[in-house]
């Protein structure tokens, strides 16, 4: 009954939600999973080895003392060793459970440190770190491998000045949720700073497919309202090739973003692999 009440407390439910989030995180933890499995197997073998040693040690001591146990007493001794083994296995199970929870909580904390707390996307540092790794993994590919996309809200400063920073934060939160909804796979999404966001789309899609995604993004952003008026954003998308580092992609995509802003509200510009607009 006490455990039931404990599992329905707010603190436990929040902890359980953190564990579930850690479980579904795509962190590439194959090494850590293998290490936990290795520790479990090693602990089980150690428990069995200790039990066998304990049995033989007692038998040896009795033989040295010249004590001969009847069959019934020897059976009791065997049962004692079985109980001893079960006790060790129970302690082992608790240790394993602790390791699993500790690993999941550590994964959650690490992910929280890499995530922008307001919008739920990657922080600037985490985005570029993950982007470098993603680009390095594609070094062997030739030609177009994806797009580096920069975007920000149109006239965001006016939103903060007229409606206050809480409303501005709400708009940023909805924009982050929209990005996660539109670009939901094969990509990295990060908040670079203020109202500026970046998306590294490393799925092999065509320019036409990208245009469909960007139009969908602009439509979804247009559904975000403040004081009854729809907001908008500008987007610059630069093709990614395996020969270009992340810093260069960021600068050139940012230039395309400002080219889109010069065209007016809610526009996007897609560059070409050779750097031309």
Provide the 3-class DSSP secondary structure of residue 191.
Answer: strand
Closest by CA position to 257, among listed 148, 126, 180: 148
CB atoms within 10 A of CB 7: 10
The widest CA-to-CA distance across the chain, in whole angstroms, is: 100
How many angstroms separate the CA atoms of 234 and 226, rounded? 17
254 is catalytic: no
pTM, rounded to two decimals? 0.64
pLDDT at 276: 45
- DSSP codes of every residue in 51-74: HHHHHHHHHHHHHHTT----HHHH
Is 10 a residue whose pLDDT tops 90? no
Could you give the count of Cα atoms lying within 13 Å of 261 in the half-sphere of its Cβ? 15
**How many residues are recorded in the chain?**
277
pLDDT at 92: 79
Q: What are the pLDDT digits (tens) for 153-207?
A: 999 999 999 999 999 999 999 999 999 999 877 789 999 999 999 999 887 788 8
167-to-152, 159, 163, 170, 265 alpha-carbon distances in Å: 16, 8, 6, 5, 20
Which region among 83-97, 100-114, 259-273 has the lowest average model confidence (pLDDT)? 100-114
Is 17 a residue whose pLDDT tops 80? no
Provide the 3-class DSSP secondary structure of residue 263.
Answer: helix
pLDDT at 27: 43
Q: Per-residue confidence at 133, pLDDT binned at 50, 70, 90?
A: confident
- The mean predicted confidence, pLDDT, of the chain is 82
Which region among 126-130, 182-186, 242-246 has the lowest average model confidence (pLDDT)? 242-246
Q: How much of the chain exceeds pLDDT 90, in percent?
A: 33
More confident site: 173 or 144: 173
CB atoms within 10 A of CB 16: 11
Given the residues 71, 195, 254, 274, select the one marked as catalytic. Answer: 195
pLDDT at 141: 67
More confident site: 143 or 258: 258
pLDDT at 274: 58
Which value, in Å, is the radius of gyration of the alpha carbons in the chain? 29
Is 51 a residue whose pLDDT tops 60? yes
The predicted model gives 213-233 an average pLDDT of 92
Closest by CA position to 239, among listed 207, 211, 209: 207
Pair 47, 88: CB distance under 8 Å: yes
How many angstroms separate the CA atoms of 233 and 176, rounded? 12
Q: What are the pLDDT digits (tens) for 60-71?
A: 887 888 887 777
Which region among 14-28, 148-162, 207-221, 252-266 has the lowest average model confidence (pLDDT)? 14-28
Closest by CA position to 25, among listed 112, 85, 93, 101: 112
Is 109 a residue whose pLDDT tops 90? no
Is 47 a residue whose pLDDT tops 90? no
Is 117 a residue whose pLDDT tops 90? no
Closest by CA position to 147, among listed 212, 188, 208, 202: 202
Dihedrals phi, psi of 198, to nearest 5 degrees: -135, 145
pLDDT at 78: 73
pLDDT at 177: 93
Q: How much of the chain exceeds pLDDT 70, in percent?
A: 87
Which region among 9-13, 31-35, 54-58, 110-114 has the lowest average model confidence (pLDDT)? 31-35
How many angstroms separate the CA atoms of 277 and 274, rounded? 9
């Amino acid at each position: 009954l006490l455990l039931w009440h404990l599992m329905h407390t707010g603190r436990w439910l929040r902890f359980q939600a953190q564990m579930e989030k850690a479980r579904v995180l795509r962190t590439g933890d194959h090494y850590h999973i293998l290490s936990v499995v290795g520790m479990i197997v090693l602990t089980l073998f150690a428990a069995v080895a200790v039990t066998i040693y304990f049995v033989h040690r007692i038998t040896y001591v009795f033989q040295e003392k010249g004590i001969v146990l009847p069959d019934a007493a020897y059976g009791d001794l065997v049962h004692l060793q079985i109980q001893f083994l079960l006790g060790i296995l129970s302690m082992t199970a608790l240790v394993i459970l602790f390791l699993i929870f500790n690993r999941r909580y550590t994964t959650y904390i690490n992910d929280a440190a890499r995530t922008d707390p307001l919008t739920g996307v990657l922080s600037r540092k985490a985005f570029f770190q993950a982007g470098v790794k993603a680009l390095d993994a594609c070094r062997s590919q030739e030609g177009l491998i994806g797009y580096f996309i920069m975007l920000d809200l149109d006239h965001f400063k006016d939103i903060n000045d007229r409606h206050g920073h809480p409303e501005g934060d709400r708009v940023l939160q909805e924009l982050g949720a929209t990005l996660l909804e539109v670009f939901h796979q094969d990509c990295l999404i990060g908040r670079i700073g203020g109202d500026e966001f970046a998306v590294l789309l490393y799925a092999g899609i065509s320019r036409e497919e990208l245009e469909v995604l960007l139009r969908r993004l602009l439509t979804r952003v247009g559904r975000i309202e403040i004081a009854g008026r729809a907001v908008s954003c500008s987007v610059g998308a630069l093709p990614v090739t395996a020969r270009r580092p992340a810093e260069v992609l960021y600068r050139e995509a940012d230039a395309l973003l400002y080219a889109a802003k010069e065209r007016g509200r809610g526009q996007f510009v897609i560059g070409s692999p050779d750097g031309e607009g």
